[in-house]
Structure 1
């Protein structure tokens, strides 16, 4: 296989079950992915939604790491705008000390929730502006790698525990906007194709690699991950059926601001037929962005994407109403490789 396969899990609440059950499903899925040979297993961060369970990825990461043996475990990602870079560095340096050589710290600039939720997370202060994110990421890198410049106001502060190796630090982006920042700071870069349906230039990774500057404490060479939605079934038609709950959820969340529970495929398809044409078009456009179909079809499309973007690693995400459908998707796909 010319590239590594990994998984990012959004910890969905399946079958109308509790969100706490969704956390336990994430642990089971991580164990399965390790057994199947996936390289990494990352946990997303979402707030104030009935559909996704993981609001504290660092806690779930700790539990998964203790219940697996070798798979790399990390965040995909910590929404850094809500938090102190020093505290995030301390949390993930602690995780790395307890699980040497296995922890990844992926961070993103998105809020992972509504504006109201962002205000609540920042209270009694105000939410950080988007313009502050490069400074937060630079500080985080300095704390994680213990290389803040001498003129920095926080120079001399150690992110404990000291002496332990640093976790791998990655920045997440859904467009070319984060490329230069990741390269300048010497961080790994993840391009999230599953966020949005807009086109991304094929040369985005080449731009990152050309501008990459090692920071002396982290990665010595540029590293890239292409993250895509992928749902593997027995046929293209079955995959579209299983994807319907997530496609309908995205229509309601991103076009109407309604973040409800994940419906069954039957419910989602029935409601789809009642949507206005503009929403149906968005649904189809989103479905078209998912790598889906039989194991052979998915493998061929993933190989095409890896070649198109010159990606070294593909990180997959899927959401279905039933947990076992997700497990079967990852089983079928890995068997095809």
Structure 2
């Protein structure tokens, strides 16, 4: 099985650089991944975060597409509950027109922030909290593909004068809640194992395929598995670098919010944790793909076989931008 290698970039605020440089570091990494032959480069959406610095993926998608040549560029994803489906369709169809056959539109149900930011984004109205997500996703698909029925009140709207340029449509999920909806509406499905590996099972893709078939869609749907991955020259170094992301996740579970720690700081904190929290740290680390290029590739191939998918997207969060770039470089070299 030929495995495609892609990227989901959360635009981390690296401790190695000033905060305001985080978006530029995403662009720097995208250029590298384009040169290395990665297949897609997706950017995530977060609001009011001290760790992740991209609240507007459509802007970064357009900029990255303008400074790269071959890689597909898209959102992983737009948090649809905050936005008008028509406006999202207009933005991404414009990008698909400017960068033909290179733009992806991935959407998700999660808010990508706190309840306070959801309220501010919805002002002066009330936030949807995902309640209208299915209807929004159906309407978005109709605008993108020009498939709204003639009796729909919005069917006469032209998103662009020429309806042909369109982004690839993807739906994001982490534990199966969106799989049936994605299959029913004809979206491709990206499964975010990096968010919840304990509840991310191959059966989710099977459910999705069944719903796709029942809905009578033509062709074969595309499947992507997104994993947390940190690669280094040695397993010891990879596990050390992974500590930054692992501890952030553990701290979030404990209700703590602080900047990314260095790998050395994480080790100091780990030694002071009670055994129960050390066990939870180790459990989180176990859900990551961490090691040398050979070790990472062995695990990635095993996951691709188990999930019956031919595309793997890597989410790599480290304290240092240099470590993050090295991880993607090593994996691409092993891949080639």
Which bin holds the TM-score, normalised by the shorter protein? over 0.9
Question: How far apart are the structure 1 equivalents of 2:215 and 2:90?
Answer: 19
What are the Cα deviations for residues 32-56 of structure 1, in whole angstroms up to 9, with x where unaligned?
A: 1111110000000011011111111
Q: Does 1:232 align with 2:259?
A: no
Question: How far apart are the structure 1 equivalents of 2:44 and 2:241?
Answer: 21
Q: Does 1:252 align with 2:251?
A: yes
Q: Which of residues 303, 318, 336 in structure 2 aligns to 1:320? A: 318
Q: Return 5+ residue gaps in structure 1 as ranges.
A: none
Q: Is this contact kept in 1: 2:16–2:320, CA < 8 A?
A: no
What are the Cα deviations for residues 247-287 of structure 1, in whole angstroms up to 9, with x where unaligned?
A: 1111122331x443212111122223333444333322111
CA shift, 1:200, in A, is 2.8
Report what 1:160 is aligned to: 160
Deviates more, 1:198-207 or 1:163-172: 198-207
Question: How far apart are the structure 1 equivalents of 2:109 and 2:278?
Answer: 29
What are the Cα deviations for residues 82-114 of structure 1, in whole angstroms up to 9, with x where unaligned?
A: 111111001100111111110000010011111
Report what 1:208 is aligned to: 208
Q: Is this contact kept in 2: 1:12–1:19, CA < 8 A?
A: no
Q: 2:170 aligns to what SS in structure 1?
A: strand
Q: Does 1:49 align with 2:46?
A: no
Q: 1:158 aligns to what SS in structure 2?
A: coil
1:281-320 alignment runs, 5 A limit: 281-320=279-318
Question: How far apart are the structure 1 equivalents of 2:274 and 2:141?
Answer: 46
CA shift, 1:176, in A, is 1.6
Q: Which of residues 264, 267, 270 in structure 1 aligns to 2:265? A: 267
Cα 1:151–1:246 shift into 2, 3 Å: same
Question: How far apart are the structure 2 equivalents of 1:219 and 1:40?
Answer: 23
Q: Report the TM-score, using the length of structure 2 for normalisation.
A: 0.94
CA shift, 1:198, in A, is 1.7
Q: Is this contact kept in 2: 1:45–1:56, CA < 8 A?
A: yes
What are the Cα deviations for residues 178-207 of structure 1, in whole angstroms up to 9, with x where unaligned?
A: 111111111100111000232333232233
Q: Is this contact kept in 1: 2:145–2:163, CA < 8 A?
A: no
How many residues were matched structurally?
335
Shift >4 Å, 4+ stretches = 213-216
1:79-228 alignment runs, 5 A limit: 79-160=79-160, 162-212=162-212, 220-228=219-227
Cα 1:68–1:119 shift into 2, 3 Å: same
What are the Cα deviations for residues 52-75 of structure 1, in whole angstroms up to 9, with x where unaligned?
A: 111111101111100001100000
CA shift, 1:237, in A, is 1.7
Q: Return 5+ residue gaps in structure 2 as ranges.
A: none
CA shift, 1:146, in A, is 1.1
What are the Cα deviations for residues 122-141 of structure 1, in whole angstroms up to 9, with x where unaligned?
A: 11111103231111111111
Q: 1:171 aligns to what SS in structure 2?
A: strand
CA shift, 1:213, in A, is 5.2
Cα 1:34–1:328 shift into 2, 3 Å: same
RMSD: 1.9
Q: Is this contact kept in 1: 2:79–2:111, CA < 8 A?
A: yes
Question: How far apart are the structure 2 equivalents of 1:318 and 1:173?
Answer: 18
